[in-house]
Chains A and B, each alone.
Chain A
């Protein structure tokens, strides 16, 4: 006798209503605040940390009793992953906030336009003009070296390189991005020490150090951009009887120019804040040094470090310097993103 199995009803797991996690969240935060009242009074960070812990436990337990083990694990994972992201935002937000609130005290036109000549003791005057000029010098020198070198190296890797040499260069460029900045500083220092003797101090030494750090970054980003240029465009140019080098200059580079600009600007933003190599190569100065090839020169990151180390009213100048630096870096990043957004040719990607 044939037995026909009765249709199995679709099992319905009970799910928490969509508002439940939010309710648990509010409850956790309130509870966290209450717990803190028992102690020394609530702080924002305290409420956040304790609230997060309570929420994680509460949502998992609630879900487990209502929805079962599998779904509760899923909720736990979602909570932890989201928390990880929020946790990473805390340093970013707090850092920008700290620099803004502490830097604004001294930041202003006079800070940007005066140097440190004749500033001593508890004087609150003085500024970072000389350091800004120095930073422009040192970064400028690094850019003059790294940008052409990096672009040509990327062209070699994408358009010409094959075999062992190209492979070796690719790997070593990657490894070079990991060179500690202080080691780059030591290199530039010994290079000039051996070539010009111990007395020689100049912005160019710092520029060389930064160039060592900047070149591999330029190579990587330009290489990436050149590889995005479709091969069809190169072939179209070749088929018109255009020599390879003109194809590279007028088609490949032209098509990738927005991406290259973005990459280069981000590379500049990376090295403009380098401190350690400049600390040991160009040192610090109190006034503007207009000669890139002679004498110590102040740079913004080193200025920040030195001013902070002195304490007292100098610390305010350090924060104002940090604010200046962060504004420069953020502007570079912002402009870089805008360039890639608005100047990329259609159909090039």
Chain B
């Protein structure tokens, strides 16, 4: 089963600077959870704490708990590398490896980890992941071309295929459509709706309509001012959040009065 994550009292720091403070959140399995909020409110930072990518930045660290199926991701003896194999990530800008072919990009998680795989298994994995990412039909004739030869939207779907090829439990998406045109965006959104049958998905987006379209649950982040930490203001079912939010700031943000 894809996994549920319980976040409690999580703080994210950049050196001395507290970027996100006191987040408590439940991320349900096989749902799409959208995180919205104005720029700089810490939603992307929070997202990156869920697969321990936050601490890749020099000086950055996290306190608090993020429990996935009874196991704290920040517990002692947990290796961040192992966490990232369970919790995949798709970035804002498509970033296929420029030195690798389309096929190798999909297999990157296997190849970069020096794992051996039979040719047949590898082919099956490539086709499966690309099919799941709705890209197979477009690229099946040119798997040996470089990944950078694809269009922006195709590259982003290639990155999604690359992420699911390592068979994660959870998929994090950090504004996956912000660098794409409307048609490619639509393709990605359709894909997200399909993927939620198998994965737990958390998506950060600036686009309110997108959050409303693709997500089941929505969390709203906000900051009191620059230099202050971001907070999770409220979280609820997406329909509730967009129709009858309980907090004034949420309503203002959703109705476009700020941010």
Contacts and interface: CB of A to CB of B under 8 A. Distances in A.
Given A235-B56, A237-B108, A346-B146, A230 B95 contact: yes
A345 B114 contact: no
A188 to B, nearest CB: 38
A215 B179 CA distance: 41
Give the most central of A239, A345, A348: most B CB within 10 Å.
Answer: A239
Interface stretch (A14-22, A58-66, A137-145, A247-255): A247-255
A267 B51 CA distance: 41
Contact of A255 (B53, B83, B98, B146): B98
A240 B115 CA distance: 13
Nearest to B109: A240
A239 B112 CA distance: 12
Given A162-B58, A238-B53, A246-B112, A348 B98 contact: yes
Nearest to B114: A246
A241 B111 CA distance: 11
B81 interface: yes
B: interface residue count bin = 20 to 34
Contacts, number: 84
Contact of B108 (A235, A240, A243, A255): A240
B99 A254 contact: yes
B242 interface: no
Interface string B94-130: 0111110000000011011110000000000000000
Contact of A346 (B95, B98, B114, B163): B98
Nearest to B58: A162
B95 A233 contact: yes
Interface in A304-349: 345-348
B148 A347 contact: yes
A232 interface: yes
Contact of B109 (A230, A232, A235, A241): A241
B162 interface: yes
B113 A246 contact: yes
Give the most central of A230, A233, A347: most B CB within 10 Å.
Answer: A347
B106 to A, nearest CB: 11
Interface string B142-182: 00001010000000000100110010000000000000000
A183 interface: no
Contact of A241 (B96, B97, B166): B166
B91 interface: yes
Contacts of B58: 162
Given A241-B166, A247-B112, A255-B99, A236 B91 contact: yes
19 contacts: A232-B93, A235-B56, A235-B91, A235-B95, A236-B96, A236-B97, A236-B108, A236-B162, A238-B84, A239-B51, A239-B84, A239-B163, A240-B84, A240-B85, A240-B162, A241-B113, A345-B99, A345-B146, A348-B99
